[in-house]
Chains A and B, each alone.
Chain A
Amino acid sequence: MTNLAQLFFDAASLGGLYAMAALGIALIFGVMNLVNFAHGEYIAFCVFALIVPSTDAVAVMLLGRAPALLLVPLVLSLGAAIAIASEYAVFRHLRRADPVAMMISSFALGFVIRNALLAIYGGRPKAISLWPELNTPVAIVGADVPLLQLIVILTTLLVVAGLAGLLKKTRLGLEMRAAAENFTMARLLGVKANVVITGAFALSGALAAAVALIMATQTGVADVRMGGQIMLVAFIATVIGGLGSLPGAVAAGFLIGAASVLLQAFLPLDARPFRDAFLYSLVIVCLLVRPQGLFVPASAKPRV
């Protein structure tokens, strides 16, 4: 029989992963109304940066060989770099375009990154081992919890707390919140659009890199498609949370993680392969009940 503590840790760690990915999307949506579909590809890019470029089935570590103290900041800045680069190359030229055109161009950018990775690394998933010792279970309150799950839960809490601090206490954070509230007004009051937007992209890319490190350790594979599934969930979480609301994105990320783990545990055996279908039906129901999301940011109210 599955034990409750085990369920709790599973739900919290999966939810934490979703919450971090959702935060990455919500940050960018907040400042420029862009639904960034390329976010999943940032994650895949960071995973593949760990290994030597080749189409062989066995992966040789490149960055992945570096000690953790060096590796973590390196990958985080790599994630930030690709996000900033994509803003320079693509989204900067689309600031005046409507949200639909921006959304589609981010879809196209993701498509480009994914196919570039496919061309360089080949389509087969590769086995990688990044910090395998983190998957050894430790016993806590009667549950065998892999160390990694604890790290994920802790990291999420740290990231959320850090981000909250950044947004509340620093000048950049203040400007970002102002931009999320009313971008034109913020610019009129002297907020530099480029600084705020670049900052948001850098944070979002670093979050994608964090998700990438966790996923690589957890699954032990590098697959071009690994970003797609989590991007979809994160994207849904930002909408359920209330587009543009950061606490909402975190809450909804945890909610979806919990729902997913509970469905997996309590659905009858025959229905389990269809778990995702149930999960997404719940999403539609949730949207029907609260179309604006759980936490409605002030900027979401339509002005006539």
Chain B
Amino acid sequence: MPSQHAQNRLAAYSTPLILSAVLLAFVLLVVVLDDKALARTAAEALVRVTLVVGLWIFVGNSGVISFGHAGYMAIGAYCSAWLTLKPQSKALFLPDLPPWLMDAQWPVFPAAIASGLLAALVALLSGAAILRLSGIAASIATFAFLAIVNTVYSNWEGVTGATSSVVGLARYVDHWVALAWATAAIVAANLYANSASGLALRATREDEVAARASGIDMYRHRLWSLVISAFFTGISGALLGHSIGVLNPDSFYLGITFISLAMLVVGGIGSLSGAVTGVLLLSLLIELLVRAERGITVGGAEFALPSGSQEILIGVAMIVVLILRPAGLTGGREFKLRLSVPRIPLSQEPTSTN
């Protein structure tokens, strides 16, 4: 028998395998059903998986609620728009862009990476200040950050188009592209959570004082996780832009902040599996309710929920989950495989699952 510790380590690495298998099954189901509307919904759900997993990398590991991630999303989304839009339409809608950005017409993949990197850079700078705080003060500071980003992007007429939307983004994000990014985010999140920095950060989440007494530099690990988290959040913003085709600063404000935190909390803030579960379940619920609002026929009788009831019911569902299971549906546990694995000497680190 390998040691308990080695077994635990291996089992921890099985989580992303299970989660991406679930997502793959979800996409295959959509492909088999061959429904245009469903495929679009699936792509949007997978973009949200990228977003919420990105959010989890920081919030789940550090225990600090961030209201600012929609800001990183906006930064990523607009960066990708600046890099990929045709120079002619940029000259028309965004006349104040610097010349090198005006002429840029990057392929979509490098543009997505650049969006993530820009968001990560902003996270490094903003986090360097904000993360000196802790607890609720830090949460408020992230809220202030979100308000700053929103104010700047809604008023910087010549660069972001202000409140008039930026249109004409290439809508290349289908369910396969979204699946690829969601999987990448899940793998990265799992690797980070099981790295030395991730474990140290989770120790600070459980007990700040004890962790500090054990010599953990909380500030450094929080900053590091915020930067990784903002990278994937920025990419999810770019993906969202390229899946809807239209950008508006207000689509990256309180609405998306609420829904992403809701998904995270309903699924269970303490685990990566919880983040993914929350997105899938709430996306499913939203889709069902939207269809019910349009009207469904059951046994010859036509039912339709009054419009607006979708949002209300989502809110109610969240409250009910929080009352019944305050730690979320997964209760902070991960989906893991318990494999009987060949003996591994204690000194040697397992690098991947069998």
Q: A residues engaging B (CB < 8 A)? A: 35, 90, 93-94, 96-101, 103-105, 107-109, 111-112, 115-116, 118-119, 228, 232, 235-236, 239, 243, 273-277, 280-281, 283-284, 287-288, 291-293, 302, 304
User: A105 contacts B322, CB within 8 Å?
Assistant: yes
20 pairs, A vs B, C-beta closer than 8 Å: A96-B326, A97-B322, A97-B326, A98-B326, A100-B265, A100-B269, A104-B265, A104-B318, A107-B262, A108-B262, A112-B311, A112-B319, A232-B143, A236-B143, A239-B136, A239-B140, A274-B151, A280-B145, A288-B133, A293-B137
Tell me which of B312, B323, B326 contacts A90 (CB under 8 A). B323
Contacts of B86-104 to chain A: CB distance below 8 A: none
Whether B141 is near chain A, meaning CB under 8 Å from some CB there, is yes
Q: A104 to B152, alpha carbons, bound, how many Å? A: 27
Given known contacts A119-B309, A236-B143, is B262 in contact with A104 (CB within 8 Å)? yes
Contact with A along B199-214 (1 / 0, CB 8 A): 0000000000100000
User: B315 contacts A108, CB within 8 Å?
Assistant: yes
Question: Which residues does chain B contribute within 8 Å of A97, judged by CB atoms?
Answer: 322-323, 326
Question: Which residues does chain A contribute within 8 Å of B164, judged by CB atoms?
Answer: none
The chain A residue with its CB closest to the CB of B307 is A119
Given known contacts A101-B265, A239-B140, is B132 in contact with A93 (CB within 8 Å)? no
Q: Beyond the given A280-B147, A281-B144, could you list 18 further A-B residue pairs with CB under 8 A, ordered by the A residue number?
A: A94-B322, A96-B326, A104-B318, A115-B308, A118-B311, A119-B308, A235-B140, A236-B143, A243-B136, A280-B151, A283-B141, A287-B137, A287-B144, A288-B132, A291-B137, A293-B137, A302-B209, A304-B209
Contact with A along B285-324 (1 / 0, CB 8 A): 0000000000000000000001111011011101100110
Q: A53 to B309, alpha carbons, bound, how many Å? A: 17
Question: Which residues does chain A contribute within 8 Å of B258, judged by CB atoms?
Answer: 107-108, 111
Looking at chain B's contact residues, the main secondary structure is helix
Question: Which residues does chain B contribute within 8 Å of A293, judged by CB atoms?
Answer: 137
The chain A residue with its CB closest to the CB of B133 is A291
The chain A residue with its CB closest to the CB of B59 is A100
Q: A49 to B307, alpha carbons, bound, how many Å? A: 21
Q: A119 to B307, alpha carbons, bound, how many Å? A: 7
- How distant is B153 from chain A, measured CB to nearest CB, in Å? 10
Q: A59 to B201, alpha carbons, bound, how many Å? A: 53
Tell me how many residue pairs across A and B have CB atoms closer than 8 Å. Answer: 123
Q: A281 to B125, alpha carbons, bound, how many Å? A: 13
User: A236 contacts B322, CB within 8 Å?
Assistant: no
Question: Which residues does chain A contribute within 8 Å of B322, judged by CB atoms?
Answer: 94, 97, 101, 104-105, 108
User: B311 contacts A94, CB within 8 Å?
Assistant: no
Q: A259 to B311, alpha carbons, bound, how many Å? A: 36
Q: A287 to B144, alpha carbons, bound, how many Å? A: 11
Contacts of B80-132 to chain A: CB distance below 8 A: 129-130, 132
The chain A residue with its CB closest to the CB of B142 is A284
The chain A residue with its CB closest to the CB of B308 is A119
- How distant is A111 from chain B, measured CB to nearest CB, in Å? 4
User: B307 contacts A93, CB within 8 Å?
Assistant: no
Whether B254 is near chain A, meaning CB under 8 Å from some CB there, is yes
Whether B8 is near chain A, meaning CB under 8 Å from some CB there, is no
Q: A304 to B213, alpha carbons, bound, how many Å? A: 12
The chain B residue with its CB closest to the CB of A117 is B308
Whether B42 is near chain A, meaning CB under 8 Å from some CB there, is no
User: B143 contacts A235, CB within 8 Å?
Assistant: yes
Given known contacts A100-B269, A101-B326, A116-B312, is B151 in contact with A288 (CB within 8 Å)? no
Q: A283 to B129, alpha carbons, bound, how many Å? A: 12
The chain B residue with its CB closest to the CB of A123 is B308
User: A280 contacts B148, CB within 8 Å?
Assistant: yes
Whether B155 is near chain A, meaning CB under 8 Å from some CB there, is yes
Tell me which of A94, A98, A112, A284 contacts B129 (CB under 8 A). A284
User: A94 contacts B309, CB within 8 Å?
Assistant: no
Whether B227 is near chain A, meaning CB under 8 Å from some CB there, is no
Question: Which residues does chain A contribute within 8 Å of B132, judged by CB atoms?
Answer: 288, 291
The chain B residue with its CB closest to the CB of A105 is B322
Given known contacts A104-B318, A119-B306, A274-B152, is B129 in contact with A93 (CB within 8 Å)? no
- How distant is B203 from chain A, measured CB to nearest CB, in Å? 16
Q: Pick from A94, A100, A291 the residue with the most CB of B within 10 Å.
A: A100
Whether B65 is near chain A, meaning CB under 8 Å from some CB there, is yes
